[in-house]
Amino acid sequence: MTILDKIIRDKRQEVTLRKNLIPTTQLESSVLFNRTGTSMAELLRNSKSGIIAEHKRRSPSKAVINQQFSVFDVITGYENAGVCGISVLTDGKYFGGSLDDLLTARATTNIPLLRKEFIIDEYQLLEAKAFGADVILLIAAVLERKEIQQLSTTAKNLGLEVLLEVHNLEELEKSLMPSIDLLGVNNRNLKTFEVSIDTSKDLASAIPDEFVKVSESGISSTEAIKELQNYGYQGFLIGEHFMKTEHAGNAATSFIQSLQS
Ligand SMILES: O=C(O)c1ccccc1NCC(=O)[C@H](O)[C@H](O)COP(=O)(O)O
């Protein structure tokens, strides 16, 4: 069993429990449920840097990255740095995140927020909306085409943008559909944890132009971004490189400044 299999197995149990604890009617009556946010896809299309910075305490591949930062400080720092979007991990068991982190992020900024989660059930889309997300992640490696279709259509009907994540051509080909806004290529193989930005380069030409191309994971230099921009990427999801420093916001600031100089 790979780590991804384990995460999904645990996620199924977790979602069943959560559904019993909080009924969908309660999620739908949240003050944030009918909120209209800013489009992350639009911001990325018009941005020179295209950084989506991630709030990430720990991960299966790196164990602890940073447990000290407050969500408020990280989000404020990222906003001041000029990022286009912020990714908030909400998985507790493997990443130390929570929906409360998402809610705190929402209360801190108007920048588009991605709920970074292993989504397998429409209930999680209602949660994303109720806790202030603008964008949700769907991972092609763990979903059938039909599930991607259903989840992405429901997300769009809720006013959420959809970031579809792939790692190879097979996942990409099965996932292309109009209900996707952003196409993310994860440079990390979620089964082996190997990371290479060549994955983004190799898949770039197979991604139709109507999707905003996002390169995810293992990005730690502005040179890598400049290279990926030449392949048509407009968004760059960066977690560990910022979160492992003394001050995630300052790290993002100097990164974006050096990208623009
Ligand atoms: O980061 C992991 O170890 C990981 C393991 C299993 C499933 C997902 C995982 N990460 C989620 C992500 O996609 C990354 O947090 C995100 O792309 C940022 O990556 P990085 O800049 O390398 O922190």
Nearest to 59 by CA among 111, 119, 118: 118
Nearest to 85 by CA among 28, 131, 40: 40
Decide: helix, strand or coil at residue 236: strand
Is the pLDDT assigned to residue 148 strictly greater than 90?
yes
The Å distance, Cα 116 to ligand 1 centre, comes to: 9
* CA atoms of 71 and 124, how far apart (whole Å): 21
Residue 62 tokens read as 């790196």
Position 190 scores a pLDDT of 86
The Å distance, Cα 26 to ligand 1 centre, comes to: 31
Position 249 scores a pLDDT of 98
Q: What is the ipTM of this complex?
A: 0.98
Q: Active-site residue numbers?
A: 54, 56, 116, 165, 186, 216-217
Is the pLDDT assigned to residue 130 strictly greater than 90?
yes
Is the pLDDT assigned to residue 41 strictly greater than 90?
yes
Which domain does 185 fall in, by range? Answer: 3-30+39-260
- Between 53-67, 142-156, 244-258, the lowest mean confidence (pLDDT) is in 53-67
- Give the rounded distance of the alpha carbon of 31 from its chain centre: 23
CATH number of the CATH domain containing 44? 3.20.20.70
The Å distance, Cα 108 to ligand 1 centre, comes to: 23
75, 103 contact by CB (below 8 A): no
* CA atoms of 241 and 252, how far apart (whole Å): 9
Banded pLDDT at 61 (limits 50, 70, 90): confident
Banded pLDDT at 63 (limits 50, 70, 90): confident
Q: Which of 55, 188, 199, 240 to mutate to test the pocket of ligand 1 (most atoms within 8 A of CB)?
A: 188
Total domains in the chain come to 1
Task: Count CB-CB contacts under 10 A for residue 105.
Answer: 28
Is the pLDDT assigned to residue 261 strictly greater than 90?
no
Q: Which of 54, 59, 91, 187 to mutate to test the pocket of ligand 1 (most atoms within 8 A of CB)?
A: 59
- Tell me which residues have their CB closer than 6 angstroms to ligand 1: 3, 54, 56, 59-61, 186, 188, 190, 216-219, 237-241
Question: What pLDDT, in 10s, does the model give residues 220-259?
Answer: 999 999 999 999 999 999 999 999 999 999 999 999 999 9
pTM of this structure: 0.97
129, 156 contact by CB (below 8 A): no
* CA atoms of 193 and 82, how far apart (whole Å): 29
Q: Which tops the pLDDT comparison, 241 or 63? A: 241
